[in-house]
């Protein structure tokens, strides 16, 4: 190093003595930082991990496996909090771009969009991390390891946390989850951008009140066909860095204490090489609820032996005692810790001044215009038009008068969802509407009714005022008051679950009065992270737009849809039943009668459904071969035509039905999807490849096989049911092919 610097000085006499001294001093300083082999970037990660683990006491090893790993000053190791959240934007740590809640993102059916959102979130994560490091803020929610995405299956619409998922379909969930993970983790050959986490592994989907104690025992067919495919895909294709084991038991064992789940299935069969984290304080459940251990030391030993690496919680403080009692060996602790530390090294957290290229991302990306535009695009694509009688929508911007009413018209809470960040620009639906119409349009607003309580005042000005307007936009539905995680829904008496899926009674009563008083068009905007199953709403409203929890730009997107600057193209990622009576028992983890794949009764709205301001037609379906051999793929295609008068995006969906099988098969099963942009009158061909994997049958024992026989393949804009067509979706095209 000295020789190179002096040669440079001799070659270029323009270098001042001070400049050379500065370069020389910097080089020596950089060299002196490497006190220990684990800090040497020239060594392999395995060598660095081995060196670091060998320098730690047993007590230090235990603390480094907690989510709030403390500093080890003698080794120049800073504190690090593994626990951070980024479900739909960097969460719980101040300013960040807020994208639509995940169930809304799933309604876009757009993998590329979710990938770009993952990139944006991880950019903001690094910017915020860099600033926190400068402030020496090492607290919770400041790291670059995230507990997201949630790829549980929204198997039952009563589950309060279903809003966090990508819906009820294992294929759609897999594609959205992989896209998010790839966007979050980056593509640098050496460094991880951030570490994503597939949660909650596995069969974790309510009831919330029982989540710490229930034992999920689905049939093995349902387990392999519905509950685990997304996790498997995120591991094999997405290379997800982390998996979070759930609170509950599955097949009799705590998910965080099941060697079958964490070792046999996850690591040996799927090839997972990252780290397993517990859900937060899940290890307590071993001895409090599951009867799997007598105390904390036994629970820690079971977790380590089963494959856990990181304890979200503080139970691993008992690991030294567990080793002392012979419940687990220090060698086993070392192996678990080594796997965990690899992630910190891959993130560059032990490198000088962090050589991870992503560490150069600056603060100006947080809430930047590019991310604002992305939040708007995702909100606009997530909106689902459920009804549009007489083509009431879109409204004209220069109408004489408009009345905006409803408990969520001026609400910022319904933009945010849960596990959210906060933004300094949150435009409500009411604000956006006011900014959209002509300056000469009279716009008035009242809340009309509270979210969950009947009005105490028998007088209500809003009804008469609404009746006098040319049109009414009524923003109703549910919010985090009614649904969410165990302790976050303050109006819920069922720990955040919705055991009644209808619109809150007081809201319905108000809408009935509004319909009685108002003879003008009523545009009903519904917010929520789960289905609102009140058939009467279709009689009350002329148009119904379901908007989920649409993020910081959701108000603008909704207003643009109402006035025609956005053509709705979202599709339902979960079936809307007519009522709870159509559902199996909440505590039943069999898929029989659940979701569009196994539900035989006619729902209120089907999976994949969503209307548009234009119309589409499917025709000219072709199949490459009508007979193929087992293991071969086959291409199918169709022509999609925009038969309406405005441009739009159609979500073309590929479904397959196994017409004759030795085990129960889904009525329909989504296998692929593509967004197609079409101008009025334009036609485009869409082609899908049906792969052998799409033809697999999951047997009653959970094995995947391909049986000879006939398969029916559909290309359509909604799940191919009679109800979809009756509600206004395009008629699907289909062909049958045979596998020998």
Q: How many other CB atoms sit within 10 Å of the CB of residue 630?
A: 12
Q: Is 558 helix (H, G, I), strand (E, B) or coil?
A: helix
DSSP-assigned beta bridge partners for residue 473: 404, 523
Number of residues written out for the chain: 740
**In sequence order, what DSSP letters do the residues of 497-526 get, joined into one string?**
--SS-SPPHHHHHHHHHHHHH--S-EEEEE
How many whole angstroms separate alpha carbon 151 and alpha carbon 178?
10
Q: How many other CB atoms sit within 10 Å of the CB of residue 539?
A: 8
Cβ within 8 Å of residue 163, ≥6 positions away: 101, 102, 103, 417, 418, 483, 484, 528, 529, 530, 548, 549
Local structure of residue 485 (DSSP, 8 states): S
Burial class (CB in 10 A: 0-12, 13-18, 19+), 294: exposed
Catalytic residue status for 279:
yes
Indicate which residue of 60, 123, 222, 279 is catalytic.
Answer: 279
Cβ within 8 Å of residue 373, ≥6 positions away: none
Enter the tokens of residue 578.
């007519």
Q: Are strands 522-527 and 471-477 parallel, antiparallel or unpaired?
A: parallel
CB 257 within 8 A of CB 292: yes
- Element (DSSP H or E) covering residue 63: helix 58-63
Enter the tokens of residue 611.
């209307």
How many C-alpha atoms does 349 have within 13 Å on its Cβ side?
27
Give phi and psi for 689, each to the nearest 5.
Answer: -105, 120
Give all strands of the β-sheet with 683-690 in edge-to-edge order. 616-623, 634-642, 683-690
How many whole angstroms separate alpha carbon 720 and alpha carbon 44?
53
**b/e per residue, 554-566, with b = 16+ CB within 10 A?**
bbbbbbbbbbeeb
Enter the tokens of residue 352.
């000088």
Local structure of residue 611 (DSSP, 8 states): B
Q: Is 464 helix (H, G, I), strand (E, B) or coil?
A: helix
DSSP-assigned beta bridge partners for residue 690: 634
Q: Are strands 669-678 and 648-658 parallel, antiparallel or unpaired?
A: antiparallel
| Alpha carbon distances (Å) from 655 to 2, 497, 652, 736 | 67, 31, 10, 12
State the residue for tokens 């009065």.
513
- Comparing C-alpha atoms, which of 592, 625, 595, 619 is closest to residue 684? 619
How many whole angstroms separate alpha carbon 66 and alpha carbon 281?
11
Enter the tokens of residue 422.
């906060």
Q: Compute the chain's Rg from CA coordinates.
A: 28
- Comparing C-alpha atoms, which of 651, 594, 596 is closest to residue 618? 651
DSSP-assigned beta bridge partners for residue 656: 669, 713
Indicate which residue of 169, 483, 542, 553 is catalytic.
Answer: 483
Helical pair 296-306 and 330-346, crossing angle rounded to 10 deg: 60
Return the beta strands (E) in 360-425 as ranges. 384-388, 401-405
Catalytic residue status for 164:
no
How many C-alpha atoms does 105 have within 13 Å on its Cβ side?
34
Burial class (CB in 10 A: 0-12, 13-18, 19+), 413: middle
CB 309 within 8 A of CB 277: yes
Positions marked active-site: 279, 483
């Amino acid at each position: 190093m000295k020789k190179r610097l002096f040669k440079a000085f001799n070659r270029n006499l323009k270098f001042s003595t001070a400049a050379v001294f500065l370069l020389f001093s910097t080089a020596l300083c950089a060299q002196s930082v490497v006190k220990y082999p684990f800090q040497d970037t020239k060594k392999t990660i395995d060598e660095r991990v081995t060196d670091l683990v060998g320098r730690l006491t047993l007590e230090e090893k235990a603390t480094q496996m907690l989510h709030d790993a403390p500093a080890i000053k003698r080794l120049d190791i800073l504190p690090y909090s593994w626990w951070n959240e980024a479900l739909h934007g960097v969460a719980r740590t101040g300013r960040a771009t807020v994208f639509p809640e995940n169930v809304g993102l799933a309604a876009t059916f757009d993998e590329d969009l979710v990938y770009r959102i993952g990139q944006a979130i991880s950019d903001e994560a690094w910017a915020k991390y860099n600033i926190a490091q400068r402030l020496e803020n090492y607290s919770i929610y400041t790291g670059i390891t995230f507990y997201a995405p949630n790829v549980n299956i929204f198997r039952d619409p009563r589950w309060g946390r279903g809003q966090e998922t990508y819906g009820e379909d294992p294929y759609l969930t897999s594609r959205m989850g992989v896209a998010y993970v790839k966007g979050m983790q980056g593509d640098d050959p050496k460094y991880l951008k951030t570490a994503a986490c597939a949660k909650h592994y596995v069969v974790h989907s309510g009831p919330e009140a029982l989540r710490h104690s229930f034992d999920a025992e689905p049939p093995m067919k349902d387990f392999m066909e519905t509950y685990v495919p997304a996790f498997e895909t995120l591991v094999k294709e997405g290379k997800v860095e982390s998996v979070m084991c759930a609170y509950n038991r599955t097949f009799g064992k705590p998910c965080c204490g099941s060697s079958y789940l964490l070792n046999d299935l996850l690591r040996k069969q799927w090839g997972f090489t990252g780290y397993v984290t517990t859900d937060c304080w899940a290890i307590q459940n071993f001895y409090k609820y599951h009867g799997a251990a007598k105390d904390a030391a036994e629970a820690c030993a079971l977790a380590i032996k089963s494959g856990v690496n990181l304890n979200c919680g503080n139970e691993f403080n008992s690991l030294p005692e567990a080793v002392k009692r012979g419940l687990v060996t220090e060698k086993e602790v070392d192996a678990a810790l080594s796997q965990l530390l690899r992630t910190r090294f891959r993130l560059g957290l032990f490198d000088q001044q962090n050589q991870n290229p992503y560490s150069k991302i600056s603060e100006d990306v947080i809430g930047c215009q590019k991310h604002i535009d992305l939040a708007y695009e995702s909100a606009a694509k997530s909106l689902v038009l459920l009804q549009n009688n007489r083509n009431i929508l879109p409204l004209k911007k220069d109408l004489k008068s408009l009345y905006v009413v409803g408990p969520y018209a001026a609400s910022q809470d319904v933009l945010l969802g849960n596990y959210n960040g906060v933004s300094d620009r949150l435009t409500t639906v009411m604000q956006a509407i006011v900014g959209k119409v002509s300056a000469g349009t009279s716009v008035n607003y009242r809340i009309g009714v509270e979210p969950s309580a009947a009005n105490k005042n028998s007088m209500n000005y809003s009804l008469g005022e609404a009746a006098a307007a040319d049109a009414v936009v009524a923003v109703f539905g549910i919010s985090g008051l009614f649904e969410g995680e165990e302790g976050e829904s303050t109006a819920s008496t069922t720990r955040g679950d919705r055991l009644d899926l209808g619109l809150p009674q007081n809201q319905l009563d108000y809408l009935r009065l509004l319909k009685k008083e108002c003879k003008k068009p009523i545009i009903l905007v519904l917010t929520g992270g789960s289905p609102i199953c009140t058939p009467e709403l279709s009689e009350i409203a002329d148009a119904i737009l379901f908007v989920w929890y649409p993020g910081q730009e959701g108000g603008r997107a909704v207003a643009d849809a109402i006035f025609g600057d956005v053509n709705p193209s979202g599709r339902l990622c979960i079936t809307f039943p007519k009522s709870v009576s159509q559902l199996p028992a909440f505590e039943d983890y069999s898929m029989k009668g659940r979701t569009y794949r196994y539900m035989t009764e006619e729902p209120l709205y089907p999976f994949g459904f969503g209307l548009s301001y234009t119309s589409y037609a499917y025709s000219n379906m072709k199949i490459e071969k009508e007979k193929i051999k087992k293991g071969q793929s086959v291409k199918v295609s169709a022509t999609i035509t925009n038969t309406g008068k405005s441009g739009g995006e159609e979500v073309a969906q590929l479904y397959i039905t196994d017409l004759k099988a030795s085990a129960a098969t889904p009525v329909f099963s989504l296998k692929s999807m593509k967004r197609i942009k079409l101008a009025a009158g334009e036609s485009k061909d869409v082609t899908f490849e049906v792969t052998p994997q799409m033809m697999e049958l999951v047997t009653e024992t959970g094995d995947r096989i391909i049986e000879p026989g006939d398969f029916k393949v559909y290309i359509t804009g909604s799940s191919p049911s009679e109800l979809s067509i009756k509600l206004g979706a395009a008629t699907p095209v289909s062909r049958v092919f045979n596998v020998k």
